[in-house]
C-alpha cells in the first residue's frame, strides 16, 4: 500500500463582517443582471396552466371567510402567474387595437429609433460639440415622443389596462377555488386542451 500525501496549505480569507446597520436596498432584492427576454418568455409559456382549468366555472366559489380569501388570492396568483401575465398582455393588445392613434404613435417612435440606429452606424451625431451615444439619442426620441403620447391618450390607456388587469385578476383569484384543483388531476385538463 502506498502512502499518498496531499498538500492542503494555502491562504484563506475570513468572511467579510456583516453590516450592523441594514440599508434600504437590503430589504429589496435587486437583480444583478437583466434576464434574457426570450428565455423569460419561454419560461412563462412553459408555466401556463391549461386554459380549460383556468376558466372552468365549476371551480368558482365564494370564499368562506376573509382570512381564507387572502390565502386563496395568494395561492391563485402563485399558481396561475403565467396565465395572469397572458391576460394582461391580451388586454394590452385589445387596447392597442381599439386605439389606433396610440398604435401609430408607437410605430412612429420605433421608426425614429430604427432610423437613428441606421444613421448612427454611418455617421455619429454631434450636438453642442459633444458626440451623443445611441442610448442618449434613444432617450431624446423617447422624451420628444412623450407629448405625442399624451395627446393621443396613451396615459389613459395605460391606466385602463392596469386597472382592468387588476380587477380581472383579483376577481379570478378571489373566486377561483384552488382547493378543488388540488383534488382533481391536471392531466385530464391537459389532454382535453390538446384535442
What are the residue boundaries of the structural domains of the chain, listed by start? 80-99+153-195
CB atoms within 10 A of CB 7: 5
Per-residue confidence band for 27, with pLDDT thresholds at 50, 70 and 90: very low
Identify the bridge partners of residue 127 per DSSP, sorted by sequence position.
Answer: 130
Of 79, 88, 91, whose CA–CA distance to 47 is shortest?
79
Give Cα 157 distance to the centre of its chain: 18
Helix axes 81-98, 66-79, angle to 10 degrees: 80
DSSP code for 116: H
CA 54/CA 10 separation, integer angstroms: 58
Q: What is the pLDDT of residues 155-181, one digit of tens each?
A: 999 999 999 999 999 999 999 988 777
Please check whether residue 100 is in contact with residue 125, taking contact to mean a CB–CB distance below 8 angstroms: no
Main-chain phi, psi angles of 60, to 5 degrees: -90, 115
Per-residue confidence band for 195, with pLDDT thresholds at 50, 70 and 90: very low
Supply the pLDDT for residue 92. Answer: 92
Q: Copy the grid coordinates of residue 45.
A: 409559456
Identify the bridge partners of residue 176 per DSSP, sorted by sequence position.
Answer: 60
Between 130 and 2, the more confident residue is: 130
pTM of the model: 0.64
DSSP-based three-state secondary structure for 84: helix
Amino acid at each position: 500500500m502506498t502512502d499518498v500525501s496531499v498538500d492542503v496549505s494555502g491562504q484563506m480569507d475570513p468572511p467579510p463582517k456583516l453590516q450592523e446597520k441594514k440599508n434600504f436596498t437590503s430589504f429589496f432584492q435587486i437583480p444583478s443582471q437583466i434576464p434574457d427576454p426570450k428565455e423569460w418568455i419561454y419560461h412563462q409559456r412553459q408555466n401556463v396552466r391549461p386554459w380549460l382549468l383556468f376558466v372552468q366555472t365549476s371551480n368558482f366559489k365564494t370564499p368562506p371567510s376573509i382570512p381564507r380569501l387572502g390565502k386563496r388570492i395568494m395561492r391563485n396568483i402563485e399558481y396561475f402567474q403565467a396565465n395572469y401575465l397572458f391576460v394582461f398582455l391580451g388586454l394590452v393588445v385589445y387596447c392597442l387595437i381599439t386605439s389606433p392613434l396610440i398604435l401609430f404613435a408607437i410605430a412612429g417612435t420605433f421608426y425614429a429609433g430604427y432610423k437613428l440606429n441606421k444613421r448612427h452606424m454611418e455617421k455619429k451625431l454631434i450636438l453642442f460639440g459633444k458626440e451623443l451615444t445611441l442610448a442618449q439619442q434613444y432617450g431624446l426620441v423617447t422624451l420628444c415622443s412623450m407629448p405625442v403620447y399624451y395627446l393621443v391618450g396613451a396615459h389613459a390607456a395605460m391606466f385602463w389596462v392596469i386597472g382592468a388587469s387588476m380587477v380581472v385578476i383579483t376577481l379570478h383569484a378571489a373566486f377561483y377555488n384552488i382547493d378543488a384543483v388540488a383534488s382533481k388531476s391536471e392531466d385530464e385538463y391537459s389532454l382535453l386542451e390538446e384535442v
